[in-house]
Amino acid sequence: MTAAPSVPIRTSVESSVVEVSGVQKVFDTKRGRHEALKSIDLQIHDGEFLTILGPSGCGKTTLLRILAGFEQPTAGVVALDGEPINDVPANKRPMAMVFQSYALFPHLTVFENIAYGLRIAKTPRDEIEERVGVVMSIMDLAGLEQRLPTQLSGGQQQRVALARSVVIRPRVLLFDEPLSNLDARLREQMRSELRRIQQQLGITSVYVTHDQTEAMAMSDRIVVMSEGRIEQVGAPHEIYRRPATLFVADFIGKANVLRASALKRSSEGLSVSVLGTHLQLHDPGGLDEDFVLVLRPEDVTLTPLDSPNDRNITAKDRHIQAPGWVRRIEYLGAATQFTVELNDGTLLEAMRSHSLARDSVGDLPGEGDGVLAMVHADALLAVKPRP
């Protein structure tokens, strides 16, 4: 018998607020059946900021609308705090949706826009005053109570829309591309604002976007979707550093894709031949015979072909070194991107970040220069190819 633990053990680290099981959505259209969601299983944890990310048409809005109750799933169950809610209509679900078009009431003041949901719920007058006041101060809207929506900037309108949604204290906040009408600078400012407010209030949030930078910057976890399926769920760094599929690697950031053949698989890992070098790689598991290697541009180091320092690095050090030449250079300010053609014809993207304190542009290879591309085995990620 084991001794009783002196500290309570939490059975699960995160508790789920929403659980989506086997959700499928088929639309009947004039041109036949369209399966917008194939079979979605997803757990949304208490207090987290979860982003659904994927290209246009992959089913993000459909999934969000099913959570909100605006759309019925063809099959599967949506549960909230352990209770199935498929039959609960949208207006009875403790959720609020923030749209791309803020949909503020143009004839109501900022205060009345924010108070709207509380008035509908017949909340006492004093409580409305207090709750609206608190939300307005958190959102930096104090002083704008009597303005009309047309008298606000885009960012302020967005904050009013958010204030109106959070003031009713929903269990879950749903966002469908709420920032896509804003210009780039305001977008960036609003995304940190939104994140700050969400963290301060601790409201479980589901955020839909097709913007990978936004997803990376804001989320606790990201759900990457493609063609009605979930490709991967993970924290931003997991999605970026350990993509499960080629789709994910390609969609999030830039990826070189290298053909490789598996020589042997064992407990030591994956033994592969790539660019003429035999290497032992980390085996992420779950791979079939068929896989590809993904390599991020920032993991390719370029040195001048005649540099003596690098000559003594051999494959034993778990490096690939492949000679080639620089075909193209793009100077991006904080970094330079190189397209290198290796001697076997393989094209590689390499990225080198800059710092005035550390290096000078003169150190960089130029177009047409011979270079040695070096890659450490740990930077080669084995992933499933496209189906």
Per-residue tokens: 92:
């009875």
What are the residues whose beta carbons fall under 8 Å from the beta carbon of 81, sequence distance 6 or more? 17, 171
For residue 59, the partner it binds in ligand ATP, Mg ion, none, with Cβ less than 5 to 8 A by kind, is ligand ATP
Helix orientation angle between 184-201 and 125-138, rounded to the nearest 10 degrees: 130
Task: Please check whether residue 73 is in contact with residue 86, taking contact to mean a CB–CB distance below 8 angstroms.
Answer: yes
Per-residue tokens: 199:
């963290």
- Spell out, one character per residue from 257 to 286, where the chain touches Mg ion: x when CB under 5 A holds, - when not: ------------------------------
- Contact between 180 and ligand ATP by CB under 6 A: the answer reads no
Per-residue tokens: 356:
């005035």
For residue 331, the partner it binds in Mg ion, ligand ATP, none, with Cβ less than 5 to 8 A by kind, is none
Length of the chain equals: 387
- Contact between 212 and ligand ATP by CB under 6 A: the answer reads no
Q: Cα(69)–Cα(61) distance, rounded to whole angstroms?
A: 12
What are the residues whose beta carbons fall under 8 Å from the beta carbon of 196, sequence distance 6 or more? none
User: What is the side-by-side strand order in the sheet with 256-258?
Assistant: 256-258, 292-295, 381-383
- Spell out, one character per residue from 183 to 222, where the chain touches Mg ion: x when CB under 5 A holds, - when not: ----------------------------------------
Task: Please check whether residue 255 is in contact with residue 295, taking contact to mean a CB–CB distance below 8 angstroms.
Answer: yes
Count of alpha carbons within 13 Å of 54, Cβ hemisphere only? 23
Task: Tell which residue, 185, 186, 178, has the closest CA to residue 210.
Answer: 178
Question: Residue 290, exposed/middle/buried by CB under 10 A (0-12, 13-18, 19+)?
Answer: exposed
- Contact between 27 and ligand ATP by CB under 6 A: the answer reads yes
For residue 210, the partner it binds in ligand ATP, Mg ion, none, with Cβ less than 5 to 8 A by kind, is ligand ATP
Strands (E), 282-334: 292-295, 301-304, 319-331
Q: Cα(144)–Cα(137) distance, rounded to whole angstroms?
A: 10
Q: Please give the residue whose beta carbon sits closest to Mg ion in the complex.
A: 61
How are beta strands 301-304 and 370-376 bridged, if at all?
antiparallel
Taking the complex as a whole, the smallest distance from the CB of residue 301 to ligand ATP amounts, in Å, to 36
For residue 36, the partner it binds in Mg ion, ligand ATP, none, with Cβ less than 5 to 8 A by kind, is ligand ATP
For residue 160, the partner it binds in ligand ATP, Mg ion, none, with Cβ less than 5 to 8 A by kind, is none
For residue 29, the partner it binds in ligand ATP, Mg ion, none, with Cβ less than 5 to 8 A by kind, is ligand ATP
- Spell out, one character per residue from 43 to 62, where the chain touches Mg ion: x when CB under 5 A holds, - when not: ------------------x-
Q: Which is nearer to ligand ATP, 27 or 331 (CB)?
A: 27
- Spell out, one character per residue from 29 to 68, where the chain touches ligand ATP: x when CB under 6 A holds, - when not: x----x-x-----------------x-xxxxxxx------
Q: Which is nearer to ligand ATP, 54 or 155 (CB)?
A: 54
Taking the complex as a whole, the smallest distance from the CB of residue 380 to Mg ion amounts, in Å, to 35
Taking the complex as a whole, the smallest distance from the CB of residue 357 to ligand ATP amounts, in Å, to 41
For residue 58, the partner it binds in ligand ATP, Mg ion, none, with Cβ less than 5 to 8 A by kind, is ligand ATP
Taking the complex as a whole, the smallest distance from the CB of residue 209 to Mg ion amounts, in Å, to 9
Taking the complex as a whole, the smallest distance from the CB of residue 60 to Mg ion amounts, in Å, to 5
For 219-244, letters b (16+ CB in 10 Å) and e give: bbbbbbbbbbbbbbbbebeebbebbb
For residue 57, the partner it binds in Mg ion, ligand ATP, none, with Cβ less than 5 to 8 A by kind, is ligand ATP
Taking the complex as a whole, the smallest distance from the CB of residue 173 to ligand ATP amounts, in Å, to 18
Which of 93, 210, 221, 384 is in the footprint of ligand ATP by CB under 6 A? 210
Taking the complex as a whole, the smallest distance from the CB of residue 37 to ligand ATP amounts, in Å, to 8
Which amino acid type is present at position 331? Y
Point out which residues bind Mg ion (CB under 5 A).
61
**Binding interface with ligand ATP (CB under 6 A):** 27, 29, 34, 36, 54, 56-62, 210
